[in-house]
Amino acid sequence: MSVDLNPDLSKVASTNGTTPATTKGGKAAGAIATWADDRLGLGGAMKKNIRKVFPDHWSFMLGEIALWSFVVLLLTGVFLTLWFDPSMTEVQYDGAYDPLRGVHMSSAMASTLDISFDVRGGLLMRQMHHWAAMIFIASMMIHMLRVYLTGAFRKPRELNWVIGCLLLLLGTIEGFTGYSLPDDLLSGTGVRAADGFMKASPVIGTYMSFFLFGGEFPGDAIIPRFYAMHILLIPGILLALVAAHMLLLVYHKHTQWPGPGRTEGNVVGYPMLPVYAAKAGGFFFIVFGVITLLGGLFSLNPVWKFGPYDPSKVTAGSQPDWYMGWPDGLLRIIPAWETHIWGITLSWNVMLPILVMPPLMLMILMALPFLEAWITGDKREHHLLQRPRNAPTRTAIMVALMTFYGLSWAAGGNDIIAIKMHLSINQITYFMRGAVFIGPVIAFIITRRWCISLQRHDEGKLLHGYETGVLVRSPAGGYAEKHLPLPEGKAYTLTARDDDPTPETVEEIDASGATGRTARLRKLRAKLATVFFADNVQKPTTEELHESQHHAEHELHELESQIAAGPNRHGPAEH
């Protein structure tokens, strides 16, 4: 989509004003507002914040999807707590769903069935809650990709990045504890798997499992414990972190794309009231609406078909919800590596994909801003975003991580892929074993070169103009496409970026007299920085741009005179 480079700013306030706005006339609403303001003093704080400016771009609204789906989660979640009974007490089901009537099950499962079949609107609420959870985590992830790929995580926003990563982790745990609550066959299988994962931890595994389950699996404590975590502990932390995340957003101010009039020192956009309140408020209703439609139209976790959990039963297609799919995939493809030593079994086949990889990935994610800042040595504040192509190595790192994630994720659905695409599940597994290693490398190389090619394309547009599609035949009979200079605003936007810094060289470090560990670290950093920036295209210099402008003007005149003198100046030749 094209970015509007000349936004209509006529309605944007030109000043924040120095005197507070006062109510005029004796309107009732004004009187109430004054009454409240005299006592709460909100007017002063509001006055500044309702004029707060946000820049306009679709990618800035991805985090909003997460926020609004979280609101839907809170609302539907409260509804569900009114009927859900988080107890593993065995009861005999006698609700409206015939094929399970008389079956013994936990109270949790029975009350989930009651919500689905006997509470008015209950099934819709259940499905909305679950769909909202799936969308909550998905939107956090695409928001995170946006923040990373545009460089919005750079100073001063690194801590907000870390908070975002914690939100992603907590959202995932919240999701797992949530979908485990109904105590149905599918979720019980998941809890059984979690029990196995814990028991795979060397030495402390069994203790951890007994501690969590209050004894041997399944016991009768896990559902109430998950419930406490799911509706109190984790949402509390989530809310606090969401608040911190958004306060930091307000404090840092929103990043913006470069363009005419946009600098590191300002934010160009529309004020909170009325524009953003309307846009964000409207988006809330859209998110709510889409989730409601999903809840009403698409089946999600039909627990009545799974039946109550029973350790002796299992179903084909037992997968976790999508956000737990990638460790499940790694678990599915890892060879059966085990070590037997001193009567102890070390299950690398469980430890590596489940206990090592997810925490490792999270740590890599959280470390990315700091790693990049260390390698590039960039300690400046950044409020202008970078296009992904202008940081080729960074973009390539994320695409490599996404490729690893995506392949692991697909491996988690290997059985469904096998039956739907008529493949052998073994062959999928063998393929994935190689692909999770090779795929990210290929993706890294392709993305990096692709970005650099796009940079070259930008450079070409700046120096030689854009392709007009006008073909001109020369007197000698040759054909050439005419290029015309970019509009000034576009050219400005393309050049509104910093040149990459020149990394130190090994010789410089040696010359500086640094020795020992410091020197070794500096050399490592210099080498990494050299690789990081290698082959990047720097923006043209002012001289180069001026020269190309003159050239372009000359070409333009030439083209105009050619058109004026040519046989087609009045359209097709007349006979």
Partner 1 sequence: MLVCGLLLTGGLYAALAPAQADTSQDEAALIKEGRELFLVGCAFCHGQNGEGVLTQGGSQYGPPLTDVGAAAVDFQVATGRMPMAQPGAQAPRKERVYDDEETEALAAYVASLGTGPAIPDKELYSTEGMSDKELEELVVRGGQIFLANCTACHNFEGSGGAMPRGGYAPKIRGVDSKHIYEAMLTGPQSMDTFSDGNIPPEDKKAVIAYLNELDEAPSYSGFTLGGLGPVSEGIIAWVGGIGVLVGFAVWIAAHTTRSSKKKDEAAA
CA distance 358 to 188: 22
308: exposed, middle or buried (C-beta count within 10 Å: 0-12, 13-18, 19+)?
A: buried
- Of the pair 110, 366, the CB lying nearest partner 1 is at 110
Q: CB–CB of 229/202 below 8 Å?
A: no
CA distance 191 to 183: 9
If you search the block for the tokens 């989930």, which residue do you land on?
A: 112
To the nearest whole angstrom, how small is the minimum distance from the Cβ of residue 482 to partner 1?
A: 29
- Of the pair 207, 285, the CB lying nearest partner 1 is at 285
- Of the pair 416, 496, the CB lying nearest partner 1 is at 416
* Gyration radius from the chain CA atoms: 30
To the nearest whole angstrom, how small is the minimum distance from the Cβ of residue 138 to partner 1?
A: 5
To the nearest whole angstrom, how small is the minimum distance from the Cβ of residue 356 to partner 1?
A: 24
To the nearest whole angstrom, how small is the minimum distance from the Cβ of residue 129 to partner 1?
A: 13
CA distance 368 to 374: 10
To the nearest whole angstrom, how small is the minimum distance from the Cβ of residue 249 to partner 1?
A: 17
- Of the pair 169, 416, the CB lying nearest partner 1 is at 416
- Taking alpha carbons only, the member of 26, 114, 97, 61 closest to residue 287 is 61
CA distance 425 to 20: 69
Which amino acid is residue 363, in one-letter code? M
Query: In sequence order, what are the beta bridge partners of 104?
Result: 92
DSSP 573: P
To the nearest whole angstrom, how small is the minimum distance from the Cβ of residue 373 to partner 1?
A: 29
- Of the pair 407, 452, the CB lying nearest partner 1 is at 407
CA distance 70 to 78: 12
- Which residues, at least 6 apart from 199, have a Cβ–Cβ distance to it below 8 Å? 205, 206, 208, 209
- Which residues, at least 6 apart from 62, have a Cβ–Cβ distance to it below 8 Å? 139, 142, 143, 146
If you search the block for the tokens 């928001």, which residue do you land on?
A: 143
To the nearest whole angstrom, how small is the minimum distance from the Cβ of residue 317 to partner 1?
A: 4
- Of the pair 142, 528, the CB lying nearest partner 1 is at 142
To the nearest whole angstrom, how small is the minimum distance from the Cβ of residue 69 to partner 1?
A: 9
- Of the pair 77, 307, the CB lying nearest partner 1 is at 307
- Of the pair 111, 139, the CB lying nearest partner 1 is at 139
- Of the pair 351, 354, the CB lying nearest partner 1 is at 354
- Report the Cα–Cα distance between both ends of the chain, in Å, rounded: 44
- Of the pair 356, 417, the CB lying nearest partner 1 is at 417
Q: CB–CB of 258/496 below 8 Å?
A: yes
Buried-state track 486-515, b at ≥16 Cβ within 10 A, e below 16: beeebbbbbbebeebeebbeeeebeeeeee
To the nearest whole angstrom, how small is the minimum distance from the Cβ of residue 277 to partner 1?
A: 12
To the nearest whole angstrom, how small is the minimum distance from the Cβ of residue 164 to partner 1?
A: 17
